[in-house]
Structure 1
């Protein structure tokens, strides 16, 4: 879902080292037993991905463990900002410099890459049969599996649990209660909701949290109807969603200067007590605790939409790793994915990044915030919206929402929605997005 230049990676490394201490001896022994089965020729696998410093330290640890087991194989990772990743990876394929391994967004994004023959078919991998069905499906195109899903994330409201308890604040159960909560927090002198739209990808998060309850809970076929030309952004709950998004700003519930605030800064605001809440994914839990190890963070679903039904949560596979079909090291790349799929390695990643499992046989210890929102996830979810949209649609959403929030009334909701409709229509059957 995202990657950033995070905060305090050394603390993450210390935490991961503690997790590794019990298993390092076994990994060393396994590496000694398997070294003789590897090729004596040194191989370097190059990977380009968007999972940044939230995942970077634990990825480094996994790569080190992999290298201990396969001493002739090294892995070099290049991180790209999530809102630039799509253009970067396209240009690599055009220039003939595709990496051996690459980040693959779940859902529709991978279709043109698979159809163009850029991705290796991984359907026969041993780990594939262990995946939960929805995780496997989101990485499948034309009946073939083109990437290994790594984890599952969810979007909700991260909140300062200690502040809520000290001031007697309750978890809101309706949208009106949420607005009243924001007003109460504002009166107490704290920023109700931290927001940083300088990083464009953040613009989508609040609408993503709204849409499952506002649209997909009652109309799960909405996207299919969009593709068929029978539904639109303009004539849907998207109008009310954008208006309510802007109303939060008008009421003063965001921090001042949110258009110039970065994601890292909004994380710091919640971690240090300057803000009480943040609508964001669980991937932010690690950076928050790196900034303030004593922070007590909870997570509840955004209560948007009709209150007489359970609220749905935006949740889905977040990270995928694929293999370039033209890599000169296909067997080494497959070994790398197989290593990632091992229960003990995948558990290390999930606990290090505080995320949910995609495997039937991997059950990590859940962070308290994850445990708090898990009942809402069981009640109903819809994937991150871009996973079912045409490739390129998400980039347009970034631009439109940033213009909308910066418009000061000059950029109408009607103009914003019509631009989204136009782009959806242009991209839904156009695979020229992939060169």
Structure 2
């Protein structure tokens, strides 16, 4: 999950001081190379140099990272909320995991976290059962449907829901959400899907030593221009 660490960092390094970056990027008035994304990727590499990751980050799967946390081989993993049930399943019911903001500076008041709706629902326009499909989607969006989905998946409802009680492991995140300390997941507002693909590849190349930060950012800027 190469994108999640610098998403967590960029929420603070980029968007605390430049909340409109994505809009300016799409309008051609900003670039990755000319923004705090440069500092973000450098921090990512600095974390690796400091020994914060496994010895072979590019070769570590999602499943391995979850197992390492569950077995106490790693202090944590930068992940989304749906990883909580998986850690508990492997570590045992008595385990008390928690999720916290990943700081990117020494200023706690500037710290932000990326947040996004974990799933979206759609109905095939050519379906022969559109009436039933719409009814099911309406149920999924109802307080009851959202409550079931959020509790089973370890997430938070996308819409206000008085019947939902958040997992205590998410207390810090819910506080940050209520205090307006979140920013949208970056790829949700980038101008096209190619930027995210370029981002995946860029991070892998950074960690294998096949690209510099400047080259990584240029590849992402080149992907923006393909829109």
Partner of 2:221: 421
Describe the shift of the 1:260–1:308 C-alpha distance in structure 2 as closer, same or farther (beyond 3 A): closer
CA distance in 2, matches of 1:405, 1:277: 20
CA distance in 1, matches of 2:20, 2:36: 14
TM alignment of 1:152-167, pairs within 5 A: none
Partner of 1:290: 89
State yes or no: 1:403 paired with 2:202: no
Partner of 1:228: 27
CA distance in 2, matches of 1:299, 1:277: 9
Q: Please say if residues 203 and 401 of structure 1, whose CA atoms lie closer than 8 Å, have aligned partners that are also in contact.
A: yes
Partner of 2:190: 389
Q: Which moved more, 1:357-366 or 1:223-232?
A: 357-366
Partner of 1:351: 151
Partner of 1:374: 174
Q: Please say if residues 347 and 362 of structure 1, whose CA atoms lie closer than 8 Å, have aligned partners that are also in contact.
A: no
Partner of 1:303: 103
Where do 4+ consecutive residues of structure 1 move more than 6 Å? none
* Per-residue deviation, residues 66-111 of structure 1 (Å, max 9, x unmatched): xxxxxxxxxxxxxxxxxxxxxxxxxxxxxxxxxxxxxxxxxxxxxx
TM alignment of 1:208-223, pairs within 5 A: 208-223=7-22
Q: 3-state SS of the aligned residue for 1:382? A: strand
State yes or no: 1:334 paired with 2:134: yes
CA distance in 2, matches of 1:419, 1:345: 41
TM alignment of 1:174-213, pairs within 5 A: 202-213=1-12
Q: 3-state SS of the aligned residue for 1:415? A: helix
Q: 3-state SS of the aligned residue for 2:75? A: strand
Q: CA deviation at 1:306?
A: 6.0
What is the aligned-residue RMSD (CA, Å)?
Answer: 1.6
TM-score with structure 1 length normalisation? 0.49
Q: CA deviation at 1:406?
A: 1.4
Larger radius of gyration: 1
Q: CA deviation at 1:382?
A: 0.6
CA distance in 2, matches of 1:413, 1:401: 9
CA distance in 2, matches of 1:296, 1:308: 24
Q: CA deviation at 1:221?
A: 1.1
CA distance in 2, matches of 1:361, 1:241: 35
CA distance in 1, matches of 2:145, 2:212: 49
CA distance in 2, matches of 1:361, 1:373: 16
CA distance in 2, matches of 1:363, 1:204: 33
Partner of 1:361: 161
CA distance in 1, matches of 2:138, 2:27: 39
Q: Which runs of 5+ in 1 are unaligned?
A: 1-201, 428-435
Q: Which of 235, 251, 263 is matched with 2:50 structurally?
A: 251
* Per-residue deviation, residues 234-291 of structure 1 (Å, max 9, x unmatched): 0111111111111111122211222211101100100110001211111100110111
State yes or no: 1:412 paired with 2:212: yes
Q: 3-state SS of the aligned residue for 1:321? A: coil
Q: Please say if residues 312 and 377 of structure 1, whose CA atoms lie closer than 8 Å, have aligned partners that are also in contact.
A: no
If asked which structure has higher relative contact order (CA below 8 Å, sep 6+), I would say: 2
Partner of 1:323: 123
State yes or no: 1:239 paired with 2:38: yes
Q: 3-state SS of the aligned residue for 2:176? A: helix
Partner of 1:278: 77
Describe the shift of the 1:361–1:413 C-alpha distance in structure 2 as closer, same or farther (beyond 3 A): closer
Partner of 1:120: none
Q: Please say if residues 214 and 306 of structure 1, whose CA atoms lie closer than 8 Å, have aligned partners that are also in contact.
A: no
Q: Which has the higher strand share?
A: 1
Q: CA deviation at 1:385?
A: 0.4
Q: 3-state SS of the aligned residue for 1:320? A: coil
Q: Give the paired residue count.
A: 224
